A = this chain, B = another copy of it.
Amino acid sequence: MVRIEGEEGRVRRVVTKTTEYDADLVIMAAGVRPNVDIARDAGLEIGETGALAVNEFMQTSDPDIYAGGDLVQNRHLASGRACFAPLGSTANKHGRVIGDNVCGGASRFAGISGTFICKVFYFNAGATGLTEAKAAAAGLDFYTANASGMDIAHYYQGAQAMAQKLVIERGTDRVLGYQAIGGGDTARRIDVVATAIRFGATIDQLADLDLAYAPPYAQAVDCLLHAANAARNKRDGVMKGISPAEARALLQADKAAVIDVRGEMEYKRMRLPARRSYNIPVDDLPARVAELPRDLPLIAVCTVGLRGYAAQKTLDAAGFADVRVLEGGLFQWPWKDELQ
C-alpha cells in the first residue's frame, strides 16, 4: 500500500504500487511486531519468535532485568512452544508476576492458551488454543469437528446460531483448540475451552462439564458440549463427518454426490454446488434409498448437521458404504457465494 486517499473528511480509495481500490471503509490488519531494539542493543536474548525471551519468572537473559507485555514471547499451553501473542490481558498478568518478583517473591507465569476474541460488526469471533493450521505446524496428529448450535435455548428471545470448530489430538484425545463465531455468546464457550486446555482436558472430559443451564443462558445440552459430543461420535466412527473443506474438494472433483435431506423448499432456495445432487427429505429417506447411487461417496447435507447425521445412520443401515455428514451443515459452509 502506498497511501490512503480521502475527500471531504471521508476515505475514498486505497492506492497501491500497481492499482487503486475504491473504498468506503479501510480496515488496517497489519499485525504487531515487538520493538526489541533496546533489548537487543543491551545484549538480552531474543526468542525464536522475534520477541524478547523471558523465563516463567518473567526474567530476561539478564536475571536482574524483567520484561513483560507486548514485547515478550510466551509459552503456549497447547503446543508447549514459544509464541508471540501480544494482548492486554496477558500483559496485566505479566505485570503482577513481575511486581511480585521484584519485591522478593517467586511468582510464575503459567503461559497462555492463545485465547482471543473480537467484535466484527454483529459477530463475536474468537478462538483459544491451536487452529488446524497451527496444530499441523506444531507437528501434532489431530482430528477436528465442526458443529453448529444455538447459544441459548432456541425458543428463547435473542437466540443466535454459532459456528464452532474443535481441534483434538489423536491418541490422547486432548483438546488442542476451539474456534467460534456467531451473533451470540461465543465468549463463554471460548473461556470454558481456554480453561479446559489449561488443565489438559480430553474431549470426553469437555463433553461432561457441568455448565450453567437455564433457557436464557444455554441449551440443555450446551452448544459447546454438543460440539464435543460430535467430535466423540466422529472419533468413535459413530458419526462419519466431513469438514466443509474436504467436502468442497470432493465435490469440485466430482468424486462424491450430495444427498440433501432438507425439505424441498429449503433445497430450492439454497444448496451446495455439486454435479450430482439428490434432495430427499430425511423422513422420506428410508422409503427412497433406491434412488441414490451406491458407487460413489455420499455427503449428507442439512442446515446444521442434525438431519444429515440421521440420514447417515439410515443409509449406513441400508448398506451404503461411504456416507459422510457435512459437519455444521450449510450454516457453517464458509463459501456462501458458491451456494446455488
Contact = CB atoms under 8 A, between A and B. Distances in A.
Interface of A: 77, 87-93, 96, 109-119, 124, 126, 128, 185, 187-188, 190-192, 194-196, 198-199, 201, 205, 208-214, 216-218, 220-222, 225, 229
Nearest to A95: B221
A214 B90 contact: no
A145 B222 CA distance: 29
- Per assembly, the copies of the chain total 2
Contacts of A96: 229
Residue of A89, A93, A111, A196 with most partner-chain B CB within 10 A: A89
A194 B201 CA distance: 13
A91 B218 CA distance: 15
Contacts of A118: 214
A79 to B, nearest CB: 13
Contact of A191 (B90, B119, B192): B192
B209 A190 contact: no
B210 A117 contact: no
B220 A92 contact: yes
Given A92-B220, A92-B221, A221-B89, A194 B212 contact: yes
Contact of A210 (B113, B192, B210): B113
Contacts of A229: 96
Given A117-B217, A221-B89, A221-B92, A212 B187 contact: yes
Given A191-B188, A221-B92, A222-B89, A117 B213 contact: yes
A89 to B, nearest CB: 4
A183 B247 CA distance: 44
A117 B214 CA distance: 6
13 contacts: A88-B220, A89-B210, A89-B213, A92-B220, A92-B221, A109-B208, A113-B210, A114-B210, A128-B212, A185-B188, A187-B212, A188-B188, A190-B212
Given A194-B210, A214-B119, A220 B89 contact: yes
